[in-house]
Amino acid sequence: MFNIVQFPLLRKSPILSNGIIATLVVIIVLLFNLWFKFDGNITGFFRIGSEFPLSPYLNPETTFIYPNEVGHDGQQFLTIALDPTLQNLDSINALDAPHYRYRRILYPLLGYVFGLGQSRLIPWAMVILNGILIVLLVLLISVTLQAYNYSPHYGLWVLSIPSVWMAFVLSTADLLSGFLLVLSIYFYRKSSPILTSISIAYLCLTRENLLIIWLAFVLCSIWERRWRQLVHLGWSWLPIALWSFVISRRSDFPESSVLEQVFTYPLGGVLNKISLLFSQEIVAKTLFEWYNFILLIVVLSATFWFCFRQIKFNKIVLICTAILTGLFLISSAKILGYYLDYLRVYMPAYFLLLLTLEAHQIKTGILGAVSLSSIAFLVLHN
3-state class (DSSP) for residue 158: helix
- What pLDDT, on a 0 to 100 scale, did the predictor assign at position 1? 39
The whole-angstrom separation of Cα 381 and Cα 166 is 10
pLDDT of residue 382: 75
In the chain, alpha helices (H): 8-12, 14-32, 73-82, 89-93, 98-102, 106-114, 122-147, 162-170, 174-189, 193-204, 211-223, 227-236, 238-248, 268-279, 284-309, 315-329, 333-336, 339-345, 348-354, 361-380
pTM of the model: 0.94
Angstrom distance (rounded) from CA 182 to CA 186 = 6
Averages of pLDDT over runs of 10 residues in the chain (382 residues) are 50 86 98 95 96 94 92 95 96 92 96 97 98 98 93 94 97 97 98 98 91 95 97 95 94 68 86 89 89 97 95 96 96 90 95 90 95 94 78
- Distance of CA 337 to CAs 13, 209, 260, 286, Å? 43, 19, 16, 11
Residue ranges of domains in the chain: 4-380
Cβ atoms within 10 Å of 117's Cβ, excluding its own = 12
**What per-residue confidence (pLDDT) applies to 260?**
53
Do you know the residue count of the chain? 382
What pLDDT, on the 0 to 100 scale, is given for residue 209?
A: 77
What per-residue confidence (pLDDT) applies to 12?
62
Backbone angles phi, psi at 361, to 5 degrees: -60, -35
